[in-house]
Structure 1
Amino acid sequence: MTCRDITNRMTFLELAEKILTEEKHPLNEVEIWEIAKEKGYDRLISTKGKTPWKTIGANIYLDMRDNPETTVFGKTEGRPKRFILKASSYATPATSEGAPAEIVTKNSKTAYSERDLHSLLAYYASVYMKVATKTVFHEKSSKRSFNQWLHPDMVSVYYPFTEFDSDLYDLGLQMGIQLIRFFSFELKKELSFSNLRESFFQAVSNSSWANEGYLVTADLDQGEEFMGELRRLSTSFGIGVIRLDTEEPDDCEVVFPAKNKDELDLETMSKLSIENPDFKNFIIRTRKDIHGKEIYQNHYDKVLQPEELKLKYRKSHS
């Protein structure tokens, strides 16, 4: 199989081969599709369906199963599995995790875990974004789907009745004005070229349902080339970037703002509710708070004060 000229229509297999050839490192089906959209190649697929990335993955697996001698595709060992081109130079030098050395995340310089950052984001979101956050524990999910690409780490909702009086709030609802906004957050301890694409497209996938999606990190590569690429991705896909500061919680900042989407993806929200009880309870709680026009903070993530947060991360660094 050879790639067609991009002026012609492509099959999903041809699209996958083209992306893997150009990117020169292993990718999963979601990453292949997101990069294809970024480059405009998705317009060359005649029939996409609602979940084209799943079609890409299924087609590759079928080609590997049915044409083991002639298929150009292979996959990495270990987890998470990614697709490779068997003839490419990056197909052999793999780590024990199954990923090539060039894309392995660097060793962490901190003792705290990714989940330790949730309390810091909960504080920043509450004070500076005026939203209540809820952690979504992936381990509670049913395991029937690709949880890594479905579940955000944290979710939040903005309630307009906290700023508007009751009459103005009711008027807005009667006029059909979108007042309530949902947010999705994907957290990473660190963000650099070594994990940028995987982390970014994970955020794209996990926030597809929300009005705004954010990629959040406490250790952000400040290199000019990296920041330029991060800005380009943020602009292209509308994903915002938040930098957390473990030493000064009030110095956390939105590096790149998210693009607000007017429409909620109710189908994905329904799937998340079925898969994960934390997300389901978040939706139930939101409905009750909206109906009662009052926020019950004890149903959301606990918001620590700055001094409590500083002490917590001081202990992590010691």
Structure 2
Amino acid sequence: MTIKDSILKALENFSKPVSYQEITKYILDNKLYAFEGQTPHATVSALLGDFIRKNDTRVARVKQNGAYFYYLTKNDLLAVEEANVLLQDENGSKKGTKACFSERDLHVLFVSYLKSRGIYAKTILHEESKNSKDDTQKWAHPDIIGVKFAKFKSATSSKLLKTLERKDSCEIISYEIKKEINSDYELKKYYFQAVSNSTWANLGYLVAFEINDNLKEEMERLNKSFGIGVIKLHANPFESQILFQSSYKNLDYQTIDKLCHINEKYRQFIEQIEKILSADDKYVNSSLLELEKECDMYYEKDEDILNYCTSKNIPIE
């Protein structure tokens, strides 16, 4: 029996849509397939995604609160009815309306994407800021800040830029991350949160794991009017897409000063950027290493990303 056959066999034994974890457990418990690797859950999740991408008519899925549940299309009517009550308890109130992963679980994926683009990035926690319980401070700073340094093939060009236009030696970027943007209301709420949180930065982005395609036109309008870019994050972060580019603006030093005052980790990150920009050439590499220590962890290998997504219940396409 192939692994795809074992998945189909497992689905035969469920009368409702089920998660990839339930399918994997059934395969393992009934010894339908002997997995060679150490990540059977990730393998099953990837192959279920393969069924969907290739429009295999045997398998379909429904989505509930950010997670996918799979079923055989020949059980379509039963499955749809089950999906409608999947998260309902006996009184009709929803169970587990919290999604199966948290917004902050996405940070390591997004930082991995940024690192692949040469951007150093760090999470800034709102609860660590002064006056964090004050509602007026909720939109003070973004979820993640990043910096990208200009690189030239010629060392002479780098020195010239650093001497004449030091401020152009890097771009400082603000990122606001959301799990999903499903409605026009959510789009405007999150977009203007990103606007508020990025006033200080050269570039600002709203990032989301799930985005309703019907909102693209409104996103484009907001992007043209306010300049905040939009990024679609994928479970494989290296497949993430910039849907709309951010408009460049000069740094707002007064707001940077305010943020340095209210959040120590933000201040440390800005301080490291300043050290790199002012360092002699022979100290630049050591200063970059210091900055990297300030940054979030990230993944470079697909296997590590699959393991992480599986452990956090992040849907894998």
Q: Give identity over the alignment, percent.
A: 32
Is it true that 1:313 corresponds to 2:309 in the alignment? yes
TM-score w.r.t. structure 1 length?
0.61
1:180 corresponds, among 155, 170, 173, to 170
Structure 1 residue 110: Cα displacement: 4.0
Cα separation, 1, equivalents of 2:148 and 2:203: 11
Match of 2:180 among 173, 190, 205: 190
- Give the alignment's Cα RMSD to 1 decimal: 1.9
User: Using the alignment, how far apart are the partners of 1:151 and 1:108 within structure 2?
Assistant: 28
2:299 corresponds to 1:304: yes
1:239 match: 228
Instruction: Give the Cα–Cα distance (whole angstroms) in 2 for the partners of residues 219 and 121 of structure 1.
Output: 13
Distance in 2, Cα, partners of 1:239 & 1:188: 14
Contact 2:105–2:312 (CA under 8 A) maintained in structure 1: no
Q: Looking at CA atoms only, which structure, 1 or 2, has the larger radius of gyration?
A: 2
Displacement of 1:259 in angstroms is 0.8
| Structure possessing the higher relative contact order (Cα contacts under 8 Å, 6 or more residues apart) | 2
Residue 219 of structure 2 aligns with which residue?
A: 230
Aligned length: 206
Bigger Cα displacement from structure 2, 170-179 vs 145-154: 170-179
Q: Which runs of 5+ in 1 are unaligned?
A: 1-106
Q: Which amino acid aligns with 1:201?
A: F
The answer for the alignment partner of 2:208 in structure 1 is 217
Q: Could you say which residue in structure 2 is the equivalent of 1:275?
A: 262
**Matching residue's letter, 1:203:** A
Contact in 2 for aligned 1:249/1:310 (Cα 8 Å): no
Counting only pairs closer than 5 Å after superposition, residues 58-207 of structure 1 correspond to structure 2 as 110-128=99-117, 130-143=118-131, 146-161=136-151, 163-176=152-165, 178-193=168-183, 194-207=185-198
The alpha carbon displacement at 1:310 in A equals 2.0
Measured against aligned partners, the alpha-carbon deviations of 1:212-243 in whole angstroms (never above 9, x if no partner) come to 000001011112xx111111111110000011
Taking structure 2 as the reference length, the TM-score comes to: 0.61
Aligned-partner SS, 2:130: coil
| Mapped contact 2:116–2:238 kept (Cα < 8 A) | no
Match of 2:244 among 256, 263, 271: 256
Give every structure 1 segment of 4 or more consecutive aligned residues whose post-TM-superposition deviation is greater than 6 Å: none
Counterparts of 2:154 and 2:172 in 1: how far apart (Å)? Answer: 21
Q: Distance in 1 between matches of 2:233 and 2:97?
A: 16
Task: Give the residue type in structure 1 aligned to 2:296.
Answer: D
SS in 2 for 1:280: helix
